[in-house]
Amino acid sequence: MSAIITLAASAGGLEPLQRIVSAVPIPCRASIFIVMHVGAHDSVLPLILQASTRLPVSHATHDSPIEPGRIYVAPPDRHMRLREGHIHLDRGPKVHFARPAADPLFISAAEAYGTRVVGVVLSGGDGDGAEGLRIIKEHGGLSLVQHPVEASSPGMPLAAFSADDPDACLPVAQIAERIAAVCAEDASLVPAPGP
């Protein structure tokens, strides 16, 4: 089975997301899930990201099967959680004042897919993603954080770094390289973190 890549971003996170998805190779053996703090507002994030990749990008739909080589974006006002083989959407309580939020995605992915999960926290305010990234690492997945000095809004990276002691704290260019390598893998386990 392929890797599950989960990315979280908020303020200042669009450009890092574009850089990461543009680096994903074709074919891609992983499934990619993105949460950005859009609240209940209409979101054109899939259209924006589609301009940076040849992979199909769309808002996730409830109970849809998880397929490799696709990018799923949490839709407005819905938490996106992963069950074994499927996506679950709900209007559960806001997490860190956000819905969609990163922690529900990260935690559910870790519980369902364990070592196959890569969690990435990018630029954004508040602490969303910190607890989820800790759970990903606890389940044997790979935890990556955008270097706070590079992030235009460093709150989320700083919170994740403090809570998780992530496997790596990197500039976006190096995160994109790691993600590209995982997407090209034909193995069930996430590559071991390097120095």
Residues identified as active-site: 10, 37, 128
Query: Per DSSP, which regions of 17-167 are E strands?
Result: 31-36, 57-59, 71-73, 79-83, 86-90, 117-121, 142-146
The set of residues, in sequence order, having a beta carbon less than 8 Å from that of 195 and lying 6+ positions away, is none
Long-range contacts of 87-96 (CB under 8 A, 24+ apart): 87/60, 87/61, 87/62, 87/63, 88/62, 88/63, 89/60, 89/61, 89/62, 95/128, 96/126, 96/127, 96/128
The set of residues, in sequence order, having a beta carbon less than 8 Å from that of 141 and lying 6+ positions away, is 109, 110, 113, 114, 115, 116, 117, 118, 119, 190
